[in-house]
Every structure is written in C-alpha cells, then in structure tokens.
Structure 1
Amino acid sequence: MTNRQITVAALQLALPGPVAPNIEAVTELVEQAATKGAQIILPPELFEGPYFCQVEEEELFANAHPTTSHPSVLAMQNLAKKLNVAIPTSFFERDGHHYYNTLAMIGPDGQIMGQYRKSHIPDGPGYEEKYYFRPGNTGFKVWDVFGTRIGVGVCWDQWYPECARAMALMGAEVLFYPTAIGSEPYDQDLDTSRMWTRAMQGHAVSNCMPVIAANRIGHEGDAHFYGHSFISDEWGDLTQIFGAEETGVLVQTLDLDRAAKHRAGMGFFRDRRPHLYGRLTEDI
C-alpha cells in the first residue's frame, strides 16, 4: 500500500511594493511551485505590499479591503483554480470598522474555504501591528485539503507552542506559517533568525508533524527581512531551507503516514495531562 503523501511549497522573495508588482511576483513563484508538483503553496505574510507596520500612519488603513474584494485574495483565487492548488493567503482585511491580519484559505477550486484572523498581535519597534490589527476572533483553524488536514498560523503565532498544539489537537497533520520578520530596530546586532527557526522546529518535534514557514527578504524602510524560509519534517529536521537572500520556491513531498506512525509511537498525545494545564488559561 502506498503511503499518503502531500507536496508542499514555501515561497521566498522581496516584496517592496506596490501592490500589482508584488502580486505578479508571487504569482510567478506560485506557478513555478505548481510546475514542480506542489499542491499547497505558501506565500509570505501580507505579500500585497511593503510591510507597512513599521510606522503608525492613518492613511495606511485605506489599503485594507473586505475578504471577497481584496486584490491578493482575488488573484490567488484565480491562480488556485487555474493550477488546481491550495494557497493560504495572508492579507490586510477590513470588516466594517474593524481591521485584521487575516488568512484566507483558498482551495484548489479557487473558493475560499474559510478564514483565520491572526491571534497574537505584536507591538514593538518596527512591528507596530497593534495599531492596525484587532486580535483575531476566529479561534485557530484547520482545513481538509488534498487528503490531509492542515493548520495555518500567521507570523507572531509561530512563537507560541499553544497555537501549534491547538491546531494539532484539531487534527492538523501539517502546520504552515506565513511570515514577515527581520531586523530589530532597537538592536541592529540582534539576529533572531536562529531562534525563529528553532521555535518552529520545536513545534514539529513536539507535535510530530511537518512545519512550513515562508518569509520575505530584502530592505524595506529601516527593516531588513532575513528570509530563512524552510520546510521541516516530523522530526524537526530541515529538509529544505533558504538563506537570507535567495528568491525562489522550496518544494518537498511529505510522507503523511510515516509522520502519523511516528506521532503515535512517540505518545506525546497519549501522555498529555490536560487537567494539569489550567494555569495556561489563567491571565494572572
């Protein structure tokens, strides 16, 4: 019997804007990934334009759109249907008077399977997202696509083991994280890329499932985005990884049944003690 498999891709590229060239550049890489057999293709976070959260400017709220009319979502819907691929699509959403950092899960028929609003919103020099985004109100989400169930967190979510474990408990077999992360304005010598990678490798190890992360590269204003997009297997080993400057696609075929066997054998879900974890939900 042939093991269940899924082929995934992570995109890495510079996204300096404006909107149309950014979407065109992402489209080119999605098409490239599809020709290599990728079924689920992950672009970076907020790829519609430059990472605008470095500054607090009222005018920038005009860049947000409702899910069904956002240019990134519309472009990826057309592309997904054309190529028969799934594309988790990060974008700046406006819902009435509310604004979110949102992920539209676009299926291979080009339809929106659902959306996830980023739960963890950072606030610090160069990453002033709380000015623009409300904390997500959707809860964590998983979706069934191409014979597996996937979970998608967005950028800052990737630092939280609770997010990864929640998606795993909801049945996810593969975790995806679109990202926009780079230099820290308060300390130009601080390179968090190794921490960033290890945090998600830890999710792979603790949940015994592959993890895919897609980041942008290049200079935008005072920020330098450090790339290091990767695909990890269920042991947390990096099977595909970019450095800080490459533009392109990472593609990997994942053995889902092998991961499931490893997950069962390790017993991490068998040996959980939820009644001891109440402190995790106490805000004190």
Structure 2
Amino acid sequence: MAAGLIVGIKCMERVPAGYVGVVYNFSGGISDQVLTQGWHFVSPTKKVTTYSVGIEQSYLTSEDKGDSPKDESFSTPTSDGKSLTVDLEFSYKFDPDRITKTFTMFKVQSGETVKNTFIKPKMRAWTQEVTAKFPVTDVFGDKRQELNEALDVYMKQKFEPYGIIIDTANFTNIVTDSETSAAIQRKVTAQQELELANIEAKTAKVQADKDKEVALIAAEQEKEKATIEAEQKKIQAEGEAEATRIKAEAEAEANKKIAESLTPELIEKQKIEKWSGEVPQVQGSNTPIVSIGE
C-alpha cells in the first residue's frame, strides 16, 4: 500500500495558475487532454509540458530586469544605414485553443524553452525589419510613436501563425553612436532655428499688417476729419455770405425807401430848417468871398 501511495504521488502533476499542460507519451503520441491549473494524475508513461495562457512579461534589455538578467540589448539598422542599440519589452501568451498545435510545432519544447529559443530571437530579427523602414532622424524625431506602433502591429502579425499572442511590444530605450547623435542634434537645432525664424517672420508680418491697418485707419480718419472741416467752413462761408447778402438787401431796401420819401417839397423844407437866418457876407476888395454862417 505504501508503495502504491509513493507511485501515486510520483504520478501527480501540478499545473500552475495561468498555465495549461499538454500530455504526451514518451513514445511521441499527444493526448487530446489539455490539463488546466491544479493537480492531476498522470500515468508514469506520460509527460506534461506547460505553456502560459496568461499574460507573461519579457525583456530584452541592457539592465538586470525581469527575465533579462544579463545584457540582452541588441543592434538594429535604420533605412539610412545607421545602427541603433535598443532595449525592448514585450508581453505574450500562448493561444489555449491552439496549444496542441503549438506543442507539435515546437517538438514538445516547454513554453519557457520556446520563449528563450524562438520568441526572443525572433523579436530581435523582426525588430530589425521594422527599424529598417525608418531613417534615424525619424527614430529620434516626431516618428518615435509611429515606430512603436509599427513594431507592435508587426510582432502581432508575425507570431500569430505559431499560436503565440503578442499583447504588447515596444522600445524602452534607443541609442546610437556619438557621431550620429551629434549630427541629429545639429539637425534638430537647425530645424528649431528655422522654425523660430519662421515664427519671427510671421510675427513681423502680422505686426506690419497691423501697423499698416492702423495707418490706413488713421489716414481715413484724417481724411474724414478734413472733409468735415471743409464742409463746416463751406457752411460757415455760405452762412456769412447769406448774412452779408441779407444785410445788403436790407440796406438797399432802406435806402430805396429813404430815396422814395425825399420829395422836392421835403428837401426845401429841410434846407429851410437847416438855415440859421443869416445872409451871406462878402469879404475882401477884388475877389469877393462869400461867407455863409454855419
């Protein structure tokens, strides 16, 4: 009984949480049964290989991080012949609906072995195919996000036929040689200076347009002011001329009435009224001087 218990214990296989187990015979046959998490009794003539069906995080970095205990950063080219050194992180899982096909495809290798001998090497190789489509200035410029998105999409497509689902893939660090970095910096500086010059030119044009508009408004106001003043002077002159005309007509009318009122009888009467009653006086011997008293 004790021997049976020992054999029974040895035949127990544990599938960790987030994993499934594929059962196969030592003779090479695969069982249709896929074991879920937990303890399972497995015949001594059979072996269980586990694969992760939960999201696993993996790294290809220069630092000791996760499953990347040593420097696993790698070089990758750009479209203009430059070389980049990159750190990469990705998350993946095995498709539980195709796990037996994946098992057969990779010849009974465990999920961990598949990761180390297939997934990571292919990540390096296929990353090179992605970066080779981008010039170095785009990698370090405004196309960095586009590069990350291209990597993620490409990895999903490439691993899918193998029953491997890539959840995410992205660059965590990208560097290049010092000469290329200096050239990129010079180009960035030149672009910034050009952008600044363009901004200043646009600002100057806006200010010039504004000054021109202000000048036009001022000229229009001056013109309007001059027109108003001229109109006021015209009205004033016309008023003064009209007043002078009216005054002259009034004086002429008055003089006319006076003239019409001066009859011969009235004139004689005014002469008599103005005469003081004195007769003219003659002075001197040869030339008489007539003196009429005032």
TM-score of the alignment, normalized to the shorter chain, above 0.5: no
Could you say which structure has the higher strand fraction? 1
**Higher relative contact order at CA 8 Å, sep ≥6: structure 1 or structure 2?**
1
Q: Larger C-alpha radius of gyration, 1 or 2? A: 2
**TM norm structure 1:** 0.25
Instruction: Choose between structure 1 and 2: higher helix proportion.
Output: 2
Using the size of structure 2 for normalisation, the TM-score is: 0.24
